Structure 1
Amino acid sequence: MRELGFLAPLSNCRHLKRIIFSNNSFIGILPKSLGLGNLSASLEIFVPNNCGLKGLIPNEIGNFNNLILLELIGNDLIGTVPDALGQLMRVQSLLIGRNELMGPIPANFFNIENLYHLNLRENKLSEQLSSCFGKLTSLREIFLDYDKLTSTIQSELWTNKYLRIVELSYNMFIGSVPPEIGSINTMLDLHLLGNQLSGEISTTFGGEIPNGGPFKNFTSEFFINNREFCGASQFKVKPCKYNRTRLSIENRVLKYILPSIAAVLCLAISVVYLIRCRSRNALLAAQSTSPTTIKRISYDEVLNATNKFGEENLIGKGSIGSVYKGIFSDGMIAAIKVFNIDLEGANRIFDTECQILGKIRHRNLIKVITSCSNLDLKALVLEYMPNGNLTKWLSSSNYFLNIAQRLEIMIDVACALEYLHHGYPSPIVHCDLKPNNILLDEDMVAHVADFGIAKLFSEDQRISMSKTLGTIGYMAPEYGLAGIISPMADVYSYGIVLMETFTKKKPTDDMFVGEFTMRRWVFESFPDTIMDIVDVDLVNAIDNNIRAKESCFKSVMGLALECTTDLSEERLLMKDVLTRLKKIKMESC
């Protein structure tokens, strides 16, 4: 079998960071020389998915010491998983599913400290699951289904208390379901279908069948042959012996759906909330500067404050819910963000917002008054922003912001991001900065909102996510392409918003097609024809000092271009962006 000839010359490219050629019809093997040249020190992303790769995975791939993402999914690779992959000490996502690989998972995999996502599904991996999985403290997502793994599921796997997704279905595991799983309160999905597990399910799982939510329409047929479940009589399972009220104080419990066939135990876990509508003490303590006295807010109070979520109270709609203006009986006015609990991921986003907003406090960040959570409602009660969002001021001819106001708003936003990135022990990345998420109070002071997909992680760590949830046009290339998140992703988004604020042109405008992006439009106008792209309302405003205006626009757009470079390491830090903006305000605008 021939090597893929076009790859070999790339080994000498000392600055190449990304190689992606997925979904093609190549037939050949990966050249060993690829990992022997200058490329081994520069490459960060290597993604040849679904393109007919044959033969062995060459050991030389282990020389890519700066690789963050490796995807070889859906090829015809054979042999064993090479030990050399364990040398990829910076790799965060390792995806080699849907191939023909055999043998064990190499022991040195468990030395990869930054490994976040591991996908070896749909291969022919055998032998037992290593107890060393517990050493991978950064690991959050494991996909090992449809392999041939044997023996028991080692209890050491569950020493990682931050696992989110564990997929071990259709292997040959035996023994019981480890009770340690019940202590992992971050778990979103656990799949153990199609194995040969036996024994009792520990009560630490919360295995009780819930009565509310989607379960209220279930019949006993959904739980046939699951004799160890307990719950209501209509499910034809045994009654629960423990006190149900004990579970109601938990923020999250795991629920189980185990429709099994013969001796196969089929188990899936998802999150259900059984807490009554109440304020979260940890979150409220961090919001001591809220505009009104903190108090418990009931579901009925929320309903009455919004006139039963009437259209006349609707402020706006988003991808995961709606925001209503609420007027409470004591005269308090608030914005009530109601999550659509029928949407996948809405509960997780609600939890994330509560977690993040409970840790932070800054004058340019939206403040939470309280939260309300039960089976029927997930809502955040937020400080009300009477002047709406930045989108309203940029997209309507009925509103106008002068140069000073626009610059002040962007300084406010920079202050918020500078605090998130540098003012907290662990940096927080917003991940979805855009004009819709920049709210304006009665004094036109900007507040950054919507932390539903924000990420909290340790200094200098970059996270690779399997799914990106940001907004097209505002996402950094590394985030939109590979799901790699760092504070630099926020810097990129900020640069795009900065461009939009002074041009009133959206990055998703019809004029931006293919490689002709908003950044390229600004870049090609900079610096000589910059006045041609600036918002005409600013240019036409009565002002004799047109040269000062031009100087201001050049400074702002130059900064925006520095924030939006393709390579994340070439972008400015947010604290430096803020310093530059303040200098521009003093000297140019």
Structure 2
Amino acid sequence: MSNLIELSLSMNDLNGSIPSTIKRSNLQLLDLDYNGLQGSIVHELCEVSSLSELYLTSNKLSGVLPTCLGNMTSLRKFHIGYNKFTSLIPLSFWNLEDILEVNLSSNALIGNLPPEIKNLRALTLLDLSKNQISSNIPTAISLLRTLETLSLANNKLNGPIPTSLGEMFSLSFLDLSHNLITGVIPKSLESISSLKYINLSYNRLQGEIPDGGPFKSFTAQSFMHNDALCGNPRLQVPLCMKKSKKKKQLIKFVLPIIVVLCILVVACIILWRHKRKKVENPLKSDLSATLGVPRRISYYEVVKATNGFSESNLLGKGGFGSVYQGMLSSGKMVAIKVLDLTLEATSRSFDAECNAMRNLRHRNLVQVISSCSNDDFKSLVEYNDRCGICIGISTSWFFNTSGSL
């Protein structure tokens, strides 16, 4: 059999295992499809360096896929579907750069689709359907630009459909049905003019179904049993809500919330400033509410507050007059400075103080609230954070009983 190049024994009733003596052959094609072969893929099979086509579909083979498959660099077609393999796909397998067809469907293969899948640069057919592969669809798969048939149906794939699949311009058959795929159907798939068949049913897709390019000819069966797809009524899905309508609804609900929040923020700022002002200057706030600004105080109220300028109310004397302590009818303690107008300097001092202080504002300076002056008396109403209210009254020792401050 050393000169035998092709051996086809498909559709017989062969059983047993693949003989280890196969390694001595120079086979280029071995077809054992549709038999009852058992056991695993023997390592000796990997030693047939000339083998380019291997068909083992629909047997009872089981176990793991040997890592030595990565050494079969002459392999162009590898079909082992409908068996009982239960292993990972060996990472070395994705190094077969020149392989054209891979069919591993209807087994129980597990694991992920690695980025190394991009190494199968000549691949035209990839069928991994009906396995237990659980991963995202790697974006690297879009680098298989010669791929015509891609079936990943009936697995446990999750995550979105990569937008880059729209760059697979040779693709004519795409089946991703019966997985856990989420997200939207990329509009980039509209650009694959060669796409004749697509099946995305039984997933968790949502959003609008593209309606351009090859999607114009697809039917409802390609998209049934998803979460929330919408689009053309001919696909038996509801119409998509227009973006403008969505935006209006969003504004309708969000805008009132924003307005209310702005009002609350402004109210909080005003309240905070009010409390801060009240805490920083409680006496001034209290006096403004009680006495008013400005307030007219009659001469009689001043006399009453000082008990008729009693000696017991005298706080001190100076070069320009005397200072008395008194209590107004409101209960507020005041200091009353009585200036002696018989002194010319006192009158000049009073006028100068009025002119200077009325335009000054400083926390360490007395604030002028009101003033009154005539030939018989002069008065100055002042406020200070440290001493309360100071009322300066300039008068001669003759008091006008009808006067007021």
TM-score (structure 2 length as normaliser): 0.51
Matching residue's letter, 2:55: E
Deviation beyond 6 Å, 4+ runs, structure 1: 211-214, 218-222
1:22 pairs with 2:24:
no
1:70 pairs with 2:58:
no
Aligned residues of 2:113 and 2:137 also touching (Cα < 8 A)? yes
Q: Name the residue aligned to 1:144.
A: 128
User: CA 1:233 to 1:91, structure 2 compared with 1: closer, same or farther past 3 Å?
Assistant: closer
Out of 137, 140, 159, the position equivalent to 1:153 is 137
User: CA 1:203 to 1:226, structure 2 compared with 1: closer, same or farther past 3 Å?
Assistant: farther
Which structure 2 segments of 5+ residues have no match?
191-208, 244-405
Out of 14, 24, 30, the position equivalent to 1:46 is 30
Q: Name the residue aligned to 1:118.
A: 102
SS in 1 for 2:94: helix
Offset of residue 150 of structure 1: 0.8
Q: Name the residue aligned to 1:230.
A: 231
User: CA 1:212 to 1:61, structure 2 compared with 1: closer, same or farther past 3 Å?
Assistant: closer
Aligned residues of 1:155 and 1:178 also touching (Cα < 8 A)? yes
User: CA 1:51 to 1:66, structure 2 compared with 1: closer, same or farther past 3 Å?
Assistant: same
SS in 1 for 2:183: coil
Aligned residues of 2:105 and 2:131 also touching (Cα < 8 A)? yes
Offset of residue 56 of structure 1: 1.3
Offset of residue 125 of structure 1: 0.2
Offset of residue 210 of structure 1: 5.6
State how 1:169-568 maps to structure 2 within 5 Å: 169-206=153-190, 207-209=209-211, 215=217, 225=226, 227-231=228-232, 236-238=238-240
1:104 pairs with 2:106:
no
Aligned residues of 2:146 and 2:170 also touching (Cα < 8 A)? yes
SS in 2 for 1:103: coil
Offset of residue 112 of structure 1: 1.4
1:31 pairs with 2:19:
yes
Aligned residues of 1:158 and 1:180 also touching (Cα < 8 A)? yes
Once the two structures are superposed, residues 416-451 of structure 1 have per-residue CA deviations (whole angstroms, 9 ceiling, x without a partner) of xxxxxxxxxxxxxxxxxxxxxxxxxxxxxxxxxxxx
Offset of residue 85 of structure 1: 1.8
Quote the Cα distance in structure 1 between the aligned partners of 2:45 and 2:12.
21
Q: Name the residue aligned to 1:284.
A: none
Aligned residues of 1:228 and 1:237 also touching (Cα < 8 A)? no
User: CA 1:211 to 1:30, structure 2 compared with 1: closer, same or farther past 3 Å?
Assistant: closer
SS in 1 for 2:22: helix
Aligned residues of 1:233 and 1:239 also touching (Cα < 8 A)? no
1:84 pairs with 2:72:
no
Quote the Cα distance in structure 1 between the aligned partners of 2:142 and 2:214.
29
Offset of residue 209 of structure 1: 3.0
Quote the Cα distance in structure 2 between the aligned partners of 1:220 and 1:60.
45
SS in 2 for 1:186: coil
User: CA 1:43 to 1:220, structure 2 compared with 1: closer, same or farther past 3 Å?
Assistant: closer
SS in 2 for 1:190: strand
Offset of residue 98 of structure 1: 0.5
User: CA 1:44 to 1:17, structure 2 compared with 1: closer, same or farther past 3 Å?
Assistant: same
Matching residue's letter, 1:96: I
Matching residue's letter, 1:20: S
SS in 2 for 1:198: strand
Once the two structures are superposed, residues 123-146 of structure 1 have per-residue CA deviations (whole angstroms, 9 ceiling, x without a partner) of 010011121110110011101000
SS in 1 for 2:63: coil
Q: Name the residue aligned to 1:540.
A: none
Once the two structures are superposed, residues 56-81 of structure 1 have per-residue CA deviations (whole angstroms, 9 ceiling, x without a partner) of 11001111111110000000011111
Quote the Cα distance in structure 2 between the aligned partners of 1:148 and 1:179.
24
Offset of residue 221 of structure 1: 11
User: CA 1:18 to 1:156, structure 2 compared with 1: closer, same or farther past 3 Å?
Assistant: same
Quote the Cα distance in structure 1 between the aligned partners of 2:182 and 2:107.
25
How many residues in Structure 1 have an aligned counterpart in Structure 2? 225
User: CA 1:100 to 1:182, structure 2 compared with 1: closer, same or farther past 3 Å?
Assistant: same
SS in 1 for 2:118: helix
Specify the structure having the higher radius of gyration (Cα). 2
Offset of residue 159 of structure 1: 1.4
Aligned residues of 1:231 and 1:240 also touching (Cα < 8 A)? no
User: CA 1:170 to 1:72, structure 2 compared with 1: closer, same or farther past 3 Å?
Assistant: same
SS in 1 for 2:84: coil
Q: Name the residue aligned to 2:324.
A: none
Matching residue's letter, 1:238: C
Aligned residues of 1:231 and 1:239 also touching (Cα < 8 A)? no
Once the two structures are superposed, residues 525-545 of structure 1 have per-residue CA deviations (whole angstroms, 9 ceiling, x without a partner) of xxxxxxxxxxxxxxxxxxxxx
User: CA 1:228 to 1:19, structure 2 compared with 1: closer, same or farther past 3 Å?
Assistant: same
Q: Name the residue aligned to 1:536.
A: none
Offset of residue 208 of structure 1: 2.1
Quote the Cα distance in structure 1 between the aligned partners of 2:227 and 2:210.
11
SS in 2 for 1:157: helix
Quote the Cα distance in structure 2 between the aligned partners of 1:59 and 1:125.
19
Q: What percent identity do the matched residue pairs reach?
A: 23
Offset of residue 227 of structure 1: 3.8
Quote the Cα distance in structure 2 between the aligned partners of 1:233 and 1:22.
44
Aligned residues of 2:185 and 2:210 also touching (Cα < 8 A)? no
User: CA 1:232 to 1:111, structure 2 compared with 1: closer, same or farther past 3 Å?
Assistant: same
Offset of residue 220 of structure 1: 11
